[in-house]
Amino acid sequence: MSLKTDKIATRIQEIHRFLGLRSDRDPAYLEIAKTLEQLESELNSGKLRVKIVSSSPEIGEGFYNLLSDRPNLLESYEWETQVISQTQPQLSPELIIVDGLSGSEIQRYPLSEHEIIQVGRHRSCRVKIANEYHLISNKHAEIKPIVNGNIRGWEINDLNSTNGSFINNAPLENHHLLSANESIFLGSAIPITGCICLHLQASQPVNPSMNNGASAKGLTDVDILYIIIDEEQHIESHKSAIQQAIKNQIEHIFIILDYQKFGDIYNSLNAEYPGVEVIDLSGNLAANNPGDIEEEVKQKLEKHYDFLEKLAANQGEKLLLKRFSQNILEKLEAIEQVLEREIEAVKQSCQQMEAQLSLLQANDLKDDMKKALKKAGDEKDKFFRMLKNDLNQAKNNLLDEFRKSSLFYKIQQFTDDLKSSGVQRSAYLYVRLQAGDNPNATGHYLHLKAIHVCQTELIKWSSEEWQRIGNFYGGDGLNGLLKRIYDILNFVPNLSWSESLFHPPEDIDFRSILQASVIEPTFESRYKQPSLFGYLFKNLKGQVISGVGTIMLMGSLFIPAGGDVKGRIVAILLPIFMVTTLISYHQDKTAKIQDNTEKLKKDMNSYYQSFIKNVSNNIVQNMGYALEQEERRIRDDLEAVNECYNAYLLNREKHQLELRMQKDQYQSSQRNLEKDLAEVQKFKRL
């Protein structure tokens, strides 16, 4: 092995070691390493590579048999036959799944035009993602084939995943047609731990005249190329292989004509491809028997044999080193492309991390959260202070006897509308109250009616008051306060509160407060009323004596002495005094009934007003308890929000730390990749 060949071998080994240390980073490194192994094996053999391209295996094998008639050519050259196919190859697209953070490949899945696949962590998914990728939902996304006119491909659809799917940092909406030049992140818009990235890799269709090995790549790794044209109809399809071979700078290209009726084709090919040698071997190369060919063809072959032997002896190593240098350079350029792609991806990731860090650092949420909590607490304190005053004022208005709308006034009206009646029983006169619309309704009926009035008005007042507390006090009530507090605190995106926080107050069952039993007051009174005869005897005797005495005193000067004057005066005055005494008896009885009626009404009014006052105090007290509970609940809610804020800030700081660490990792990766790129460029210079 010459010094130059040894140098090439050493360079291949160095590149191979370079790739071996990085084979887990990109699948392309493995492919390049495999081709390097093949190159190393070819270099050790020291043989020039020859490729025979034809339209059928028989023709290629026949021409190979003619060339292999010289054993020394087999020692100097490595022979290969390829067939040019006229059929269009089918695409075989693959879905490549890579780690979202590192970019290393996880798995590949071939796509079919007849299969819908799901991607997720659930075991039923065709593309099963490991549980370590915690940002991926059980059934995260769906990929299905579409055929729409001339459009054929695959589209992806997010299956309402928890963390979403993203294309170019934008959320995936509806259906999206997959393209080979884009990355789709599942679970995060940026590369972070726990997410994955999808790529569509579709095998590109090659030229139909260069299939089955005679591809652009296949026509590169050869030193001598034979293109056999056996029929005129194959000329156009073979020309693409000739053009590709010239483009790939293959050192020696020969066009072999194996058809007797080509006519002017020989001259036209020489004119069209001046750097390509055209050899007319018109005959039957597929016969596979060198003894059957014509003498003229044999002479041309002998001449070509000599050329091949001299070429191997004089320029074999030069051609070999040239091809290997070109191959190594291509492999290094391929490695450069991989490294540049990785560097660009890392740079973009660094920029995304930097943008996120800038956004997180720009918003000083800690102070904003403190201000929001203080503002919410001040709103709460202000509302409940004002609410207590308003509630006490409403209760005072309810019990204000000078207000026509008050309950005291309504009870006063109720008692004023009552009638009374007196019943003489033995020596006592019983005075009792009765309803004006029902003289027979007394006692228990009046009590029930009075209680009904009180309860009806109190239930109405308390219900309306609780509604006002909920919706109107302070402008928009307790519900408005809860909404304001929620709006004040809910300013952090992606931070949602529990449904139990800031819910409307519950209703109070005021009827149960009014169901307590009440002692029934007395609706009648009695006093001792003298009988009519007793009253007449008591009052008539005095009136007669007083009246007669007065008349006798005043009329002594005019009344003649003697006779029964006093008896006659008494006889005259007695009927008069009896009538006046009877009138006085009835007036006195009526006055006492009225006095007792007023006293009963006053006592009744005082009783039910006291009842109203006690019940309203109980109602307000229950409202107070309920409001204290609401205030306590809001205070607890604010504490819960504060805990949520603190947890959010902690996660935010943790996320910032993770972003910084990831950014440092990316920057470190970028530096290492740039070192690798510099090393590859050094290989190219050497």
Q: What is the pLDDT of residue 574?
A: 64
As a whole number, mean pLDDT of residues 521-547 equals: 65
Look at residue 172 and tell me whether its pLDDT is greater than 80: yes
CB 571 within 8 A of CB 551: no
CB 91 within 8 A of CB 84: no
Helix (H, G, I), strand (E, B) or coil at 163: coil
**pLDDT confidence of 139, banded at 50, 70, 90?**
very high
End-to-end CA distance of the chain: 19
d(CA 480, CA 499): 17
As a whole number, mean pLDDT of residues 598-609 equals: 87
pLDDT of 385-402, one tens digit each? 888 888 888 888 888 888
pLDDT of 244-257, one tens digit each? 888 888 889 998 88
As a whole number, mean pLDDT of residues 284-311 equals: 76
As a whole number, mean pLDDT of residues 543-548 equals: 60
d(CA 107, CA 110): 10
- Got the DSSP string for 439-482? EEEETHHHHHHHHHHHHHHHHHHHHHHHHHHHHTGGGTHHHHHH
**pLDDT confidence of 120, banded at 50, 70, 90?**
very high
As a whole number, mean pLDDT of residues 661-680 equals: 89
Q: What is the pLDDT of residue 128?
A: 92
d(CA 108, CA 30): 15
Look at residue 206 and tell me whether its pLDDT is greater than 60: no
Q: What is the pLDDT of residue 260?
A: 64
% of the chain at pLDDT higher than 70: 81
Q: What is the pLDDT of residue 216?
A: 44
Q: What is the pLDDT of residue 215?
A: 44
pLDDT of 27-39, one tens digit each? 777 777 887 887 7
% of the chain at pLDDT higher than 90: 10
If 0-12 CB within 10 Å is exposed, 13-18 middle and 19+ buried, where does residue 682 land?
exposed
Look at residue 417 and tell me whether its pLDDT is greater than 60: yes
Mean pLDDT score of the chain: 80
288-297, 446-455, 463-472, 607-616: segment of lowest average pLDDT: 288-297
HEC-encoded secondary structure of 483-514: HHHHHHHCCCCCCCCCCCCCCCCCCCCHHHHC
pLDDT of 232-248, one tens digit each? 666 777 887 888 888 88
As a whole number, mean pLDDT of residues 531-549 equals: 61
pLDDT of 320-377, one tens digit each? 888 888 888 888 888 888 888 888 888 888 888 888 788 777 667 888 889 999 999 9
- Output 547 or 253, whichever has higher pLDDT: 253
Helix (H, G, I), strand (E, B) or coil at 101: coil
Closest CA to 187 of 160, 156, 161, 159: 161
Look at residue 538 and tell me whether its pLDDT is greater than 70: no
As a whole number, mean pLDDT of residues 129-144 equals: 92
CB 125 within 8 A of CB 137: no
Closest CA to 457 of 593, 653, 619: 619
